[in-house]
Amino acid sequence: MIPRTVPTWQTKSWQEELSDLIQDPAILLERLQLGPEWLKPALDASIHFPLRATESYVSRIRPGDPQDPLLLQILPLAEELKPAPDYQKDPLEEARFTPVPGLVHKYQSRVLLVAATQCAINCRYCFRRHFPYEEHQLSRPEWLAALDYIRRAPEINEVILSGGDPLSLSDKQLGWLVENIGNIPHIKRLRIHSRYPIILPSRITPELLKAIHHPRLKTVMVMHCNHAQEIDGNVHDAVKAMRGADILVLNQAVLLKKINDNSRILATLSESLFDAGVLPYYLHLLDKVQGAAHFAVAEDRARELYGELLTLLPGFLVPKLVRETPDEGSKTPIPPL
């Protein structure tokens, strides 16, 4: 099946759009008709973690609304610089579970590969906002070492490409990686954790789908969408193309204050995902990363919202509310209140 790779309203290819990311807060504010009072905080906060967003994503933000739920995910704010005890640089202590560079082996049956060091968007709440990506920019020998680690660990049956965002790699690099993963006999599933289906749906091309296809592996795409307003016709097309290529498409969201901390908004998100052909998978409590404390929703409030959500949706549209902790062998389920 042939996806519509170049949407009618857009004349740029995905490569062009990637080289034309919005990275200057002044341009973002002008585009969205927001006043100059937002500029200084945005510049200050972006010193530590720069602004980055695609045109495609920004086009879904309502101009003139500083509370827009999509804007709040990308606009650097003064709050990020406020010290918050408890909020760390590596909240998940992933460094402890990194036996070889670029590979996180924390859960028994699945391993996470930090496949790319870049994202086409910088989400302000990202738990990897302080990730030492330079140390993880893998060379060819390091890739081979990571694959070798997987080959020697028969308990692993699933490889997760994560990042950064793995779809920042070229189709050629992805093709090489997937072929090598597929050559390891005990690997049954390939999982891709990516925000591209949302932030740059034109990235989902027939060439990409061909590159990530392996005849022996089942492929799962876990995309990342936090609010129904992120889903437009191009996202629908991208999901359709993935499903046409026999890929199971799931979504993970993060519970974020002022963005989706309301059971109606979360129910609408699930309904809109389903309309697009996506099933909700996880709803994560925020990881306590430095600079993101203003996004936190208290656990009791989260449990209360979750209880309400259960009444609003059929069971198959309710994501699992979870938290990630350094010492657990899986995500920790949080019960409803």
Rounded to 10°, the helix 233-244/263-276 angle is 50
Q: At what angle do helices 171-182 and 140-151 cross, to 10 degrees?
A: 30
Chain residues 81-140 in contact with ligand PLP, contact rule CB under 6 A: 104, 106-107, 110, 112
Per the structure block, which two tokens stand in for 184? 């390891």
State the minimum distance, in angstroms, from the CB of residue 273 to ligand PLP.
17
The pattern of x and - marking residues 187 through 226 that bind ligand PLP according to CB under 6 A reads ----------------------------------------
Determine if 330 is a binding residue for ligand PLP (CB under 6 A).
yes
The kind and range of the H/E element at 45 are helix 39-46
Q: Which of residues 26-55 bind ligand PLP (CB under 6 A)?
A: none
Enumerate the H helices of 79-232 as residue ranges: 133-136, 140-151, 171-182, 196-199, 206-211
User: Measured from the CB atom, is 128 or 227 closer to ligand SF4?
Assistant: 128
Let me know: does 56 contact 16? Beta carbons within 8 Å.
no
Residue 226: CB minimum distance to ligand SF4, A: 10
First to last CA, the chain: 44
Q: At what angle do helices 299-312 and 263-276 cross, to 10 degrees?
A: 50
Task: List residues near ligand SF4 by CB under 6 A.
Answer: 119, 121-123, 126, 128, 163, 165, 195, 224
Please say which residue, 106 or 203, places its beta carbon nearer to ligand PLP. Answer: 106
For ligand SF4, give the closer residue by CB, 180 or 251. Answer: 251
Closest distance to ligand SF4 from the beta carbon of 109 (Å):
23
Residue 247 Cβ, how far from ligand SF4 at the closest point, in Å? 19
Instruction: Report if residue 160 touches ligand PLP, rule: CB under 6 A.
Output: yes
Q: How far apart are CA 147 and CA 105, in angstroms?
A: 12
**Which residues form the interface with ligand PLP (CB under 6 A)?**
104, 106-107, 110, 112, 160, 324, 330-331
